[in-house]
Amino acid sequence: MKKSPAKQRFLAAALAGASLLVAGANASAAGVSVTALSDVFGLFNAQPFDTSTNTLAFIPETAPGGFPGATVFEAASLAGLGSLGSLGVVYDTVSVTFTADPGMKITTVGFFEKGGYVRQGDSAATYAGGSIVVNGGTPTTFVPVPIGTNAQGTAGVTDWDVGLTNPVGFVVNGDTATVVITNILAAITAPGSQDVALIWKNLAALRVEVAPVPLPPALWMLGSALVGLVTVGRRKAEG
């Protein structure tokens, strides 16, 4: 028996719909976007969200006339003079909300940052610290720790980086992730000395991992049943 054009169109549409329903749970393309962002002092300087790697980078602007690589996110103490007496301090807080696309969920969020420092003189000291909070949970802190303990007396720029106490990232398993990062940099020199202490941030980055949301069992059964009905209907139409 020859199929009518109307029946052919119905069968084709039904089969296509069933295929999409079942294939939806197997989709592997990541999908997430930045839906809110605030930077208290603007020092983090967020870059456009990289959808190819699901990474949001923060690159502070270059400090004019400073040491090579130095940025405006910098703490300085020169000959015992800083922003707070002999102590130079800089800090900023940035808040970012990531939202998963329909059919996707955010699984984990990871964080990394690095910068540079200069220490000249025995009294010079530099520190980096801060905290990161995901979805209002318990803060993971990287408390102020000495940076460059062997750098006294050197005039060159040295790199530093600070890792988290939770190196595997933060488990989210939800539609959204709001991340709040606070960074503190500090530098100190002795009053009356000729010592120099500088520390700055060059880069921070948040990476978001996503995964498809599994279809409920009832939806899988519906998709399988629809495929079966379409197959039977097509056989009858071709009979």
Range 65-85 average pLDDT: 88
Where do the domains of the chain lie? 29-212
Phi-psi group of 42: left, alpha or beta (phi > 0 → left; psi -120 to 50 → alpha; rest → beta): left
For the stretch 143-171, pLDDT in tens is 666 665 444 445 567 888 765 544 446 77
- With 70 as the cut, is the pLDDT of residue 24 above it? no
Cα–Cα distance measured from residue 124 to residue 114, given in angstroms and rounded to the nearest whole number: 20
Note the pLDDT of residue 224: 56
CA dihedral (74, 163, 45, 41) positive or negative? negative
> What average pLDDT does range 80-97 have in this prediction?
92
- In this predicted model, what pLDDT tens digit does every residue of 164-184 receive, in sequence order? 544 446 778 889 999 999 999
The residue type of 20 is L
Per the CB < 8 A criterion, the answer to whether 164 and 111 are in contact is yes
Higher pLDDT, 228 or 130: 130
Residues 202 and 116 sit within 8 Å (Cβ to Cβ): yes
Contact between residue 69 and residue 196 where contact means Cβ atoms under 8 Å apart: no
Q: How much is the pLDDT for 58?
A: 96
Q: Indicate the average pLDDT of the chain.
A: 77
* pLDDT at site 214: 79
Lowest model confidence (mean pLDDT) among 28-37, 53-62, 201-210, 211-220 = 211-220
- pLDDT computed for residue 166 by the predictor: 43
Q: How many CB atoms lie within 10 A of CB 54?
A: 19
Q: In 3-state terms, what secondary structure has residue 159?
A: strand
